Every structure is written in structure tokens, then in C-alpha cells.
Structure 1
Amino acid sequence: MSTSTWKVGPLAEAAGLTVRTLHHWDAIGLLSPSRRTPAGHREYTEDDVGRLYQVLALRGLGLELDTIARCLDAGLDPARVLRDHRESVEARLAALTTLRDRLAGIEEALADGRPPTTAAVLGALRATGAAEGAVRRHLDDDQLRALARHGAAAGPAAHYLLEVEWPELYRRAEELRLAGTEPTDPRVRGLVARMDELSALFSGGDRTLSAGVRAAWREDPAALSGDASARPGRWDALTDYLEAAR
């Protein structure tokens, strides 16, 4: 097993960072060197360099440092994070390609003087408005605008938080529920705390807004999750489990 270590200066240079940045990350507990010399100088091990790579990869997705720390400290596999993020982007691209093709078909029909078929119109509507329609049944226009505003304020990280981290939190909670873990277990409560933190981020702390989104999720999980196999009531047991943890 290699015992190679790096001093803070050479590591900072290799990673394209400043020594001050690494000192700051050490101070906040994001990336602390595993070793110190007798004189107290920082020495980073290969495991530390691996964590540094993970930090840089997640930061490249636009995540804040505190979010990155939670992901890594909770044991979230960075390889899975990046794979899931890529897959979610590919799914979005596929959905946009489908929508583009349907719109092109309608446009071609109109250019030829032919009215578009009902099936074509309905297909385009399904590709654009299913999720919004599900939420609109529970939120008014002002609330929808507020939801969009809070999402935009989250910046580049919004996609990751909604499409990768949030589903991963629910997946891990469901694993604990199926394993018979008590809702009072610190692991469950930790997941719930992060879920509530994300909910507050996208709702601005408006409980009415959060309740509306949760109601839409229960009513039409397929529209909001993008999972065509999802049916109402599918996650009721998990929702009750999380409420018990709260």
C-alpha cells in the first residue's frame, strides 16, 4: 500500500487551487489532511486526494460547499452521483428530442395546409405540460411563480438537487424503511432534515407551497417524477414513515 503524501503547496498547485482555499476547506471540515508532521504541517494522503477529486467534481456541478460536505459525509457515492446526473440529463435530452419531433410534425402539417391530428396535439401537450398541470391543481398562479422564482435562485445546482440528490435521499430512506429501521433512528432523521432543507430552499419556507407540491406528488407521481410506472399511493408508506420521523 502506497504511503505517498502531499504537502499543501504542491497539492494546491496540482489541483489548480490556492493554499488559502485548502486551508479554508480544512477549517470548515470539508477536506482535512489525515496526517501532520511533527512540526504541525499538513500532509494529505491518497484518500484525501480522492476526496479532493470528489469535492471538485461536485463543485463543478454548481453545488455549495456545505451541500458537498453533506453528500460526502453521508456516504453518497460520487460515481453514482455523476452517473445519475448524466442519466437525468440524457433523459431530459430524450424528452426534448421527442417534443421537438412532435412539434416539427405539427409544423409540417400546418405548412402543408393539413390540420394536425388529435394524437399529435395531445402528444405535444403531454411532453410539455404534465408536471405543471399536476402542480397547478394544487397551487395558484402566484404560488407557481414563487416556486419558479425560488428554483431560479438556487442557480446551477437546482437541477442536481432536484434530479439527483432529492431522489437519492428518498431511495435511501426507502431502504431503511424496508430494512425495518425505526423512524426515530438518527439516520432516518438526518435524511428527513436534509429533505426539509431542500423543501425550504425551493419553497422559500412557505409551508402552503410545500404542502401543495406534496399533494401533487401523491396525486400524480408519474407526472412529477417522470416515471411512467408510478401510480398514486405508491409512496404513501414511505411518506408516512418520514412523517413519523419528523
Structure 2
Amino acid sequence: MQGGRMTASEPASATTWKVGPLAAASGLTVRTLHHWDTIGLLSPSRRTAGGHREYDGDDVARLYQVLALRSLGLGLETITVCLDRGIDPVRLVHDHLGRVEASIAALDDVRRRLVRLGEELAGDETPSTTSLLDALRALGRTGPESEGALGRHLDADQVEVLRTRGAALGPAAHYLLEVEWPELYRRAEALRTAGVAPTDARVRRLVARMDELSTLFTGGDAGIAAGVRRAWHEDPAAMSGDAAAPADEWREVAAYLGEARR
């Protein structure tokens, strides 16, 4: 160790940290680290004979990941799911960056087509068929397939609420929708197939978390939430982005969760 930091030649497991020094080094409180241990987010790999926590190099690496993901706006439960499924902050940022760049490219394509159409109109020219078709194609590329399914159950203002609130969540939105939400459904399906009653506390907790996520995207608008559920029921393949999504299974789980809500 040099100045409290591991040197490049020192193996991660060569040194352990007590909870106090680790809290001070990371800018957290001892109480926070105790809480994270209790909920299983960051548990020390070792304990002394007297029961005191000792964190090793792997634990410190996980602490870094927790703090990096938290800085991107993810909640503790979502972070736990991400890390336990082997998703690290680098992948999170790269995935989000890829989506942003794809959106920029798509919007730039729309901009170029509309500029061309605008120049023709400004020059008192009759727009060419090619320009008009290009503009129509551009309009058709501005939303994912899920928005088509949503459009059958929500009006334009409601879809815009979902889009705006999702954008405000930043990189967290991707993992809330594509990591945590599917994981909650998998847990629900496991409980359903095991014959657990929908009134069981474990199912109720899953529903409560799903409803929390729903509120993040809908702003608590019951009409939007109901429309989204109808869209999932009607076309789970489009909503999930998986053409092979088992529609019957989605609907059975949805019905199971609906019973839990009631």
C-alpha cells in the first residue's frame, strides 16, 4: 500500500479494510455501508473472529461499481440486479452512448431530408416525389416498434409523456426497462409456476416494485399505466423488442400480477 492505495504490483486480495477506513476513503458513512451489507448490495468477504467486517480488493471493486451506477441515477435495487447479472458501469455507459449516437444519426437523417424538402418549398418549387417520399420515410423512422403498439392505446400526448420522462431518466431508463423489469417478470413467472398464490407477500413486493417503475415513466398517470399494460397484453413482442417473445406466457404472468394488485 502507498498512501492508502494499492500499488500496481499488489494483488487485490493482499489487503483488507475495516468498515471505518473504507467509509472514509469512499466518502460514505459507516451507517451506509452497514445498510448496504444488510440489503445484500455490498457485503464484506471476511469477518474477524470478533465479528467485525473486513472488505477485500474484490469488495472495493464492487463498491466502485455501486458508486458509478448510483452516479448515473440508478436505485439500489436496480444496481443490485445489474451487478448480480454481471453488468458493469463501462457496459452501461457504452450501451447508453450507442443509443444516443443511433438517435443522433437517425435525427440527422431526418434533418437532411427535411432541409432538402424545405429548400424546394422555399424556392417556390413543387416538391419532387422523391423528396416527399424521403420525408415520409423519415417520419416513419422516428419511433421504435413499441410506440406503434402504444399508439393503439394511448394518445399522442400520453406517448410524449412516456418519451419525455424516459429521456429525463438518462442511462437509468435503459436498465430499468431492459434489466430490472424483465428480471421482475422472471421472478414472478418462477413464483407462478411454483404454485405460489398471487396474494403471497413475495408476489406483492414484485408488483409494488413494478408499479414504482411504472410511476417513474408515467408520472403516476393511471390512464397511461393502464394503456401500457393493454399494449403489453396485445403485443408483447413489439413492446419487449423480442420477436420471439412468448405471448401466452407474458399474458399469464400479467394476469397473475393483476390478481396480486387486486
TM-score (normalizing by structure 1): 0.68
Count of equivalent residues: 234
| Equivalences for residues 48-127 of structure 1 within 5 A | 48-69=59-80, 71-72=82-83, 75-79=84-88, 83=91, 86-87=94-95, 89-112=97-120, 113=125, 114-115=127-128, 116-127=130-141
Q: 1:93 to 1:145 in 2, by over 3 A?
A: closer
Once the two structures are TM-superposed, the CA of residue 192 in structure 1 deviates from its matched residue by: 5.1
Once the two structures are TM-superposed, the CA of residue 212 in structure 1 deviates from its matched residue by: 0.1
1:44 aligns with 55
In the alignment, structure 1 residue 166 sits paired with structure 2 residue 181: yes
Once the two structures are TM-superposed, the CA of residue 165 in structure 1 deviates from its matched residue by: 3.0
Distance in 1 (CA, whole Å) between partners of 2:81 and 2:179 is: 14
Distance in 1 (CA, whole Å) between partners of 2:71 and 2:58 is: 20
The one-character-per-residue Cα deviations of 1:85-121 (angstroms, maximum 9, x if unpaired) are 6335414422431331243034225425543534312
2:256 aligns with 244
The one-character-per-residue Cα deviations of 1:216-236 (angstroms, maximum 9, x if unpaired) are 3344556645x4x738x8533
Distance in 2 (CA, whole Å) between partners of 1:206 and 1:148 is: 14
Distance in 2 (CA, whole Å) between partners of 1:57 and 1:157 is: 12
Give SS of 2:154's match. coil
Distance in 1 (CA, whole Å) between partners of 2:47 and 2:97 is: 42
RMSD: 4.2
Distance in 2 (CA, whole Å) between partners of 1:128 and 1:149 is: 14
2:153 aligns with 138
Distance in 2 (CA, whole Å) between partners of 1:37 and 1:77 is: 28
Give SS of 1:230's match. coil
8 Å contact from structure 1 (residues 135, 213) kept in 2: yes
Consecutive unaligned residues in structure 1, runs of 5 or more: none
TM-score (normalizing by structure 2): 0.65
Give SS of 1:138's match. coil
Distance in 1 (CA, whole Å) between partners of 2:46 and 2:131 is: 69
8 Å contact from structure 1 (residues 183, 241) kept in 2: no
Q: 1:126 to 1:89 in 2, by over 3 A?
A: farther
Pick the structure with greater CA Rg: 2
In the alignment, structure 1 residue 210 sits paired with structure 2 residue 221: no
Amino acid at match of 2:101: L
1:4 aligns with 15
2:211 aligns with 196
Distance in 2 (CA, whole Å) between partners of 1:103 and 1:168 is: 38
Distance in 1 (CA, whole Å) between partners of 2:166 and 2:158 is: 12
Amino acid at match of 1:43: E
8 Å contact from structure 2 (residues 18, 55) kept in 1: yes
Q: 1:88 to 1:176 in 2, by over 3 A?
A: farther
Amino acid at match of 2:61: G
Amino acid at match of 1:200: T
2:6 aligns with none
8 Å contact from structure 1 (residues 61, 160) kept in 2: no
Give SS of 2:54's match. strand
Q: 1:67 to 1:149 in 2, by over 3 A?
A: same
Identity of aligned residues (%): 48
Q: 1:12 to 1:24 in 2, by over 3 A?
A: closer
8 Å contact from structure 1 (residues 9, 19) kept in 2: no
8 Å contact from structure 1 (residues 99, 127) kept in 2: no
Amino acid at match of 2:134: A
